[in-house]
Structure 1
Amino acid sequence: MNQLPTLSDIEAAAVIVYGAMPPTPQFSWPLLNEAVGTEAWVKHENHTPIGAFKVRGGLVHLARLAAQRPRLPGLVVATRGNHGQSVAWAARRHGLPVTIVVPHGNSVDKNNAMRAMGATLIEHGHDVQDAREHAVALAERLGLHMVHAYLPDLVAGVATGWLELLRARPALDTLFVPMGIGTGFSGAVAARQALGHGVRIVGVVSEAAPAYLSTWQARRAVEAPVRPTIADGVACRVPEPAVVALMLDHADDVIAVGDAEVAAAMRLYFHATHNLVEGAGAVALAAALKLKDDRRVRGREIGLALTGGNVDAPVFRGVLAESLP
């Protein structure tokens, strides 16, 4: 997909989204502002029905898919969790069966949540790329519809959250956006372009999954191995071609944060806001803390995407006890 959704596309997607959930809030928290050293507005996508931003895209894609192909035999998805939850939650509204492939060692709580939504769960491979290749093979063999992690409907749906934030806080100077497969980043760019807004967009990756950072630096797509990370939701090994093009054209910067920085951001969110945040959901704040003396943060009004709160209890206990990572 090379063409971004327009304002009318995003507003049409919002009609579908708001038929299932209200807009999420954005709050500025005094203790968090004190730590970052400027006025920060947190977009609370952990307040969706699945505790993550991706539900917006799932709702839009499944509503349109069910209308266009009412006799679909079923769906298959590859995921670390939030994309799968998004599809499973939306598919249940349309009575569609879902098979979800996750890598071995995936979040126990996310796996349990997807099963509770009625999905059939399969564990395969060491990372989400392995799971994706297995899911594609299943789709071909069983005649199922593969819901890829990057689709135009998903971007339009996700962009509705960014539209909410930019309309609520039109003076924002910089957005910090986690980069996994790239729907969140693409949605942020789409909302900015649709509104003609001048906000800077800084993509944030994990040091353990540097594919997009390496791509940004090389100015061409670079595949990079993924190491175990607390921010598993942004653990991308192979960059999405459409996202590469958008990033090179529209990102103001791409930076990486380490697991210790992510864990510190998770603790800060808990102590300053009493919100539970998963690793990938905390990378935007980790980046803002890392750049607190940078001109893009110091004295600016910044936006932070809290993209999800689905963290396993043992992991979070370790984060709070400062024994993880």
Structure 2
Amino acid sequence: MMFTLDELETASLRIHEVFAGTPAYAWPLLAERTGAEVWVKHENLTPTGAFKVRGGLIHVEQLARDKRAPNGLISATRGNHGQSLAFAGRRFGVPVTIVVPEGNSVEKNAAIRALGAKLIEHGADFDAAKIEAMRLAQLHGLHFAPSFHRDLVLGVASWALELFRLAPKLDALYVPIGLGSSICGAIRVRDLLGLSTEIIGVQSAGAPAYARSLAAGRPVETERADTFADGLAVRIPDPAAFAIIRDGVSRIVTVSDDEIAAAIRAYWTDTHQLAEGAGAAPLAALMQERDAKAGRCVGLPLSGGNIDLALFRDRVLGGA
């Protein structure tokens, strides 16, 4: 998973051919709310509304160049990874099939289809959808695109490079963990730039696989991934991601669904930006640790804004 700064700069240039990065702002109302100087990286403003598109562009372009997906590619997702592959597949002429769990986000499913991908619903959760995608890959001769891969980490690391260069020196950076590409990219960028920023992982209390793994010193699966924050709903840690996270984070904070909902509301009132569950989780963690971070300079990736209207209305505003 290791890449050089030159490789990252090159990947960033390729991504910026498609969109010009995303802004980072220090929001005054968030500072009042948390007691910290808070720099938000607005990955909700990418062409797919989430950071994942960065990795999808790098991975699918490489597949197209190497002709490694002659019959197309297939992957599993709860939404943003699938949108990123569909977006990149359309750009580079690679047919894309995406498997999502049954009952997945209606609006994310619609966005994947609108980008030209074939959508299949299967299984109770992400991990069951992943097993089905791998089966279909073998059955139909499709290239299976995992959710954690060097190309993906290299691509998504570009958001962290932009943030570290846009913001003042950050004392801490809270990063949400699904399967782990975003936090692994952030760890690598921090180390490449020789920074001392504390990187703190954030998981849902209902899907704490990496938090439990960190405590145990080895990958630990959970029986369920029970959270409305679908980008965090992973039961089975990736061993390569876990190794990077174990060596690169200071700790992992778990946040409840109620805390995530409160953070979504805070983003809306303080910045007028809509965050999905995973995108709001870092703010939820900072709000939980407000006293410890008072007076510090803190970075938060608002990693995505793709939340269904019904979920926002009923789970977030309904709990206000």
- Shorter-chain-normalised TM-score: which range? over 0.9
Report the CA distance shift for 1:320/1:132 in structure 2 as closer, same or farther (over 3 A). closer
Q: CA deviation at 1:225?
A: 2.2
Q: Assess if the C-alpha contact under 8 Å between 1:60 and 1:154 holds in 2.
A: yes
Cα distance in 2 between the residues matched to 1:108 and 1:4: 36
| Aligned residue in 2 for 1:127 | 125
Aligned partner (choices 144, 160, 163) of residue 162 of structure 1: 160
Cα distance in 2 between the residues matched to 1:316 and 1:59: 29
Cα distance in 1 between the residues matched to 2:316 and 2:81: 26
Aligned residue pairs, count:
320
Cα distance in 2 between the residues matched to 1:215 and 1:150: 17
What amino acid sits opposite 2:90 in the alignment? Answer: R
Cα distance in 2 between the residues matched to 1:54 and 1:308: 9
Cα distance in 2 between the residues matched to 1:70 and 1:265: 41
Q: Assess if the C-alpha contact under 8 Å between 2:225 and 2:234 holds in 1.
A: no
| Aligned residue in 2 for 1:301 | 297
| Aligned residue in 1 for 2:73 | 75
Q: CA deviation at 1:323?
A: 3.2
Report the CA distance shift for 1:99/1:290 in structure 2 as closer, same or farther (over 3 A). same
Cα distance in 2 between the residues matched to 1:321 and 1:171: 35
Greater shift, 63-72 or 11-20, is seen at 63-72
Deviation string, structure 1 residues 127-164 (Cα, Å, up to 9, x no partner):
10000000000000100011100110100000111000
| Aligned residue in 2 for 1:249 | 247
Cα distance in 1 between the residues matched to 2:206 and 2:275: 19
Q: CA deviation at 1:170?
A: 4.0
Between the aligned residues of both structures, percent identity stands at 49
| Aligned residue in 1 for 2:147 | 149
What amino acid sits opposite 1:308 in the alignment? Answer: G
What amino acid sits opposite 1:39 in the alignment? Answer: E
Q: Assess if the C-alpha contact under 8 Å between 1:59 and 1:157 holds in 2.
A: yes
Cα distance in 1 between the residues matched to 2:103 and 2:316: 22
TM-score (norm 1): 0.96
Deviation string, structure 1 residues 215-248 (Cα, Å, up to 9, x no partner):
0111111101224312111111010101111111
Greater shift, 7-16 or 300-309, is seen at 7-16
TM-score (norm 2): 0.98
| Aligned residue in 2 for 1:185 | 183
Deviation string, structure 1 residues 75-102 (Cα, Å, up to 9, x no partner):
1010000000000000001121111000
Q: CA deviation at 1:174?
A: 0.2
Cα distance in 1 between the residues matched to 2:254 and 2:69: 44
Q: Assess if the C-alpha contact under 8 Å between 2:265 and 2:317 holds in 1.
A: no
Residue 139 in structure 1 maps to residue 137 in structure 2: yes
| Aligned residue in 2 for 1:321 | 317
What amino acid sits opposite 1:202 in the alignment? Answer: I
Q: Assess if the C-alpha contact under 8 Å between 1:267 and 1:319 holds in 2.
A: no
Report the CA distance shift for 1:232/1:70 in structure 2 as closer, same or farther (over 3 A). closer
| Aligned residue in 2 for 1:105 | 103
- Equivalent positions of 1:87-98 (< 5 A) are 87-98=85-96
| Aligned residue in 1 for 2:170 | 172
- Aligned residues: CA RMSD: 1.2
Q: Assess if the C-alpha contact under 8 Å between 1:6 and 1:190 holds in 2.
A: no
- Equivalent positions of 1:275-286 (< 5 A) are 275-286=273-284
**SS of residue paired to 2:119:** strand
What amino acid sits opposite 1:19 in the alignment? Answer: E
- Equivalent positions of 1:255-294 (< 5 A) are 255-294=253-292
Cα distance in 2 between the residues matched to 1:311 and 1:255: 22
Q: CA deviation at 1:70?
A: 7.0
Gap runs ≥5 in structure 1 = none
Cα distance in 2 between the residues matched to 1:144 and 1:185: 28
Q: Assess if the C-alpha contact under 8 Å between 2:69 and 2:143 holds in 1.
A: no
Cα distance in 2 between the residues matched to 1:28 and 1:206: 25
Cα distance in 2 between the residues matched to 1:227 and 1:152: 25
Q: CA deviation at 1:13?
A: 0.7
Q: CA deviation at 1:320?
A: 4.7
| Aligned residue in 2 for 1:209 | 207
What amino acid sits opposite 1:323 in the alignment? Answer: G
Q: Assess if the C-alpha contact under 8 Å between 1:155 and 1:186 holds in 2.
A: yes
- Equivalent positions of 1:220-235 (< 5 A) are 220-235=218-233
Cα distance in 2 between the residues matched to 1:43 and 1:240: 25
Residue 52 in structure 1 maps to residue 55 in structure 2: no
Q: Assess if the C-alpha contact under 8 Å between 2:101 and 2:121 holds in 1.
A: yes
Deviation string, structure 1 residues 184-227 (Cα, Å, up to 9, x no partner):
01110111011111100000000010100100111111101224
Cα distance in 1 between the residues matched to 2:152 and 2:192: 16
What amino acid sits opposite 1:127 in the alignment? Answer: D
Cα distance in 1 between the residues matched to 2:311 and 2:187: 32
Greater shift, 198-207 or 7-16, is seen at 7-16
**SS of residue paired to 1:220:** coil
